[in-house]
Structure 1
């Protein structure tokens, strides 16, 4: 009759204990502001101790009779899993990864201003080469003898510290002979997989009397030639929006583009037949205002659209 009394499923007690402990920790951490991760790392070994004690106690108590040791496997598995999670937390804690994970949990998107960049252009410089990254950029001509860049960037961050403290963090300028090379850099990226790409919305001002070459990277470029008195070459952008509202003397020559849009009838388009099956047909198109003294050459863009400041 009392045989049933002695069958004690080992593990049940630990499972109960584990839940009580876990509950207590979570409860207290709300009130006393324990660091949850530290609490986890602190308490999981207690579980294993409880389970061990339970097994030993059981074996000790049932020494008199033939022990019928039944394990409550579900409970032991549960305790084991919690133990494993605890070990994982402990390992992560020592590698400092938990800080990163915690940081990701409290991230939100924030916008910051880019520190202003200005590079004075002397008389030796005859052309400027701008290499952009995947961000959308506006390139505008200006009467000043300087190349400058300003704008904002958005990133997912856990704190208010700016990723970009000085212009060198996002742009570099090197003068070689008569050419000024401007490289726009990617926003500093925290260790993947903890960060999504940031976004940048920036404007680059270039002197209107200097030849400009822009190398895109399949991004959207907005061009504002304004009072341009030199030639521009633009290549490898996915989409180009041209504001021609202030340009009196401009010719835009697009080669190898798939679409040109804008005010009807202003583009003269010649279509090249598609080269192979499934290949898009590429167009060459020309737009002209005034005598077309200054040219913007566009190559390898997907789409070029005119925006006449409507």
Structure 2
């Protein structure tokens, strides 16, 4: 136990000068703690064999058990690849980027505009004169700016009969630990004579 604590203290002290890379590299050798603790118990048991009774300090046993549980938890987190997820959550910063803008006249014969998104509550609809439709806004993410092809998938348009669709895609995110909003903030400037429906991907209408 003493060697384990000395090793951990020296490791943290060296990482203060050499950076976190030393700490991360050495963490790969954390099972040595189990080996040191096991050797200590085995050697201590062999040494006292035939020399009287051997007593264990209750507090030390509890501390060793706690340390063993922590090591097992760390092993499970490492085997599942969650250490990178935790590092991402702690060190990530959220930034805003401009959404690809769409502008054009409403096709002739179109009377309804449907705006669909996974999270439609960040969509604002303004009424304008004329026949021009404008869709613009921004997206926030902690992953950095998306590639051009990914940004194009965030805003897609399609006409079906007398209905014009504006489909807003999802922003890629981490599946486990993700504390960022990863949200779209979109403004739609639509002609006043055009019926506008905002709904989510399940068909629930937010505004009409």
TM surpasses 0.5: yes
Aligned equivalents of 2:111 and 2:172: distance in 1?
A: 31
- Asked if 1:90 is matched to 2:72, the reply is no
Q: Which residue of 2 aligns with 1:280?
A: none
Unpaired runs of at least 5, structure 1: 1-13, 218-234, 238-297, 299-310
Per-residue CA distance 1:234-277 (angstroms, 9 max, x = gap): x744xxxxxxxxxxxxxxxxxxxxxxxxxxxxxxxxxxxxxxxx
- Asked if 1:212 is matched to 2:198, the reply is no
Aligned equivalents of 1:215 and 1:178: distance in 2?
A: 16
Query: Alpha carbons of 1:194 and 1:201: their partners in 2 closer, same or farther (altered >3 Å)?
Result: closer
2:6 to 7, 13, 20: 20
Deviation of 1:46 (Å): 1.5
Query: Alpha carbons of 1:26 and 1:144: their partners in 2 closer, same or farther (altered >3 Å)?
Result: farther
Query: Alpha carbons of 1:24 and 1:204: their partners in 2 closer, same or farther (altered >3 Å)?
Result: same
Q: Which residue of 1 aligns with 2:34?
A: 48
Deviation of 1:192 (Å): 4.6
Q: Which residue of 1 aligns with 2:45?
A: 59
Q: Give the TM-score normalised by the residue count of structure 1.
A: 0.55
More strand by share: 1
8 Å CA contact retained: 1:117, 1:149: yes
Q: Which residue of 2 aligns with 1:114?
A: 99
Q: Which residue of 1 aligns with 2:164?
A: 180
Unpaired runs of at least 5, structure 2: none
Higher relative contact order (CA 8 A, sep 6+): 2
1:162 to 146, 165, 177: 146
1:203 to 182, 187, 191: 187
- Asked if 1:39 is matched to 2:26, the reply is yes
Aligned equivalents of 2:158 and 2:85: distance in 1?
A: 36
C-alpha root-mean-square deviation of aligned residues, in Å?
3.0
8 Å CA contact retained: 1:189, 1:197: no
8 Å CA contact retained: 1:128, 1:210: no
Per-residue CA distance 1:177-210 (angstroms, 9 max, x = gap): 121122334544432542343344322133x375
Per-residue CA distance 1:117-139 (angstroms, 9 max, x = gap): 34664334343223451214142
8 Å CA contact retained: 2:125, 2:188: yes
Structure 1 SS opposite 2:124 = strand
- Asked if 1:78 is matched to 2:63, the reply is yes
Q: Give the TM-score normalised by the residue count of structure 2.
A: 0.77
> Greater CA radius of gyration, 1 or 2?
1
